[in-house]
Structure 1
């Protein structure tokens, strides 16, 4: 299968997966390009476009999760070494509420177990269907549905209705 065809067919999907995990466009792009390099170095041969897509999604997802874990450890070390001032500005109340909601959602998502967080990111942010998620993660479509349901329930409990600003 031609590398250019694989690249054109998968780049935007892989970028969506990576950006939702790492929340940094430059890092996401690097992780995606690294996945293509890995496929090239291993001289991967894919029987179909779907096989290439699912393999690359796994590589990008794992690289992104590893990046986030490493960054989390680095951030904790920096915070121990340096105290940061966290005063909140009183102007722009609506923008502040929106930002707080985004942060709470990110924090809640980070608190989910890996297996629930993965399926929710792939479902909600990568716009993958249950069958594609199952194939990517190596689990059944039914298991994907259960995990998505449980992830949404857990997020609702973590966030609470009163703590989220949606307007």
Structure 2
């Protein structure tokens, strides 16, 4: 299949019996010529991939395009998946590589009005508090943009997806201890960037 229709990334088809199949079973069906079975893979992982890419690129249209590209590439390379790792890990690696390549090529930054990456525990209060909350989120978003792709990625996996370090280590192909250290260093780097800001904003991130 040389080209997949964009709508396949948003499909919600598929019965409950089919959804209970393992990734390996679905991939086996695809390898035997059941091309439509790939829709089940898309249904299963499209949100995970889209959210990860969206948090990295901070643009919904770009994230949608990249998600489409990742699933096309995954289909084309499906025969190279040997089952040495979880399929979700293999798919995440494709998404990660494509996203990092995109970020390296991109020459402009999106506006501050778009999604703030780091989840905030602030609650809506008075108009003044609301304004301060917005300014704080924008400050964190600007600081987040200055982090390396590696640090951004580990913060997204930990703070947005709320993955345990064991899962993060598996997705990144590193030791769990390395994942913990990388996240700690990412927090420290973000703290340095925010040193001119009032308050310890970085403490809103989950701890190690």
User: Which TM-score bucket, shorter chain as reference?
Assistant: 0.7 to 0.9
- Rounded Cα–Cα distance in structure 2 between residues aligned with 1:127 and 1:16: 12
Give yes or no for the alignment of 1:162 onto 2:162. Answer: no
Higher relative contact order (CA 8 A, sep 6+): 1
What secondary structure is seen at the aligned counterpart in 1 of 2:174? Answer: coil
Paired residues of 1:6 and 1:52 also in contact (CA < 8 A): no
Change (3 A) 1:35 1:94: same
Match of 1:104 among 136, 139, 143: 139
Query: Are the equivalent residues in 2 in contact too, given 1:31–1:63 (CA < 8 A)?
Result: yes
TM (norm. structure 2) is: 0.60
Aligned to 2:148: 113
The whole-number CA distance in structure 2 between the counterparts of 1:38 and 1:57 is 12
Supply the distance in 1 between the matched residues of 2:38 and 2:167 (Cα, whole angstroms).
21
Distance (whole Å) between structure 1 residues aligned to residue 63 and residue 133 of structure 2:
24
- Any residues of structure 2 matched to 1:1-167 within 5 Å, and which? 1=27, 2-44=37-79, 46=81, 51-71=86-106, 73-74=107-108, 97-160=132-195, 162=198
Length, aligned pairs only: 148
Give the distance between the partners of 2:40 and 2:80, measured in 1 at CA: 13
Q: Give 1:28 shift.
A: 0.9
Which 4+ residue blocks in structure 1 deviate beyond 3 angstroms?
A: 43-48, 92-100
Q: Which has the larger radius of gyration?
A: 2
Aligned to 1:12, what secondary structure does the other structure show? helix
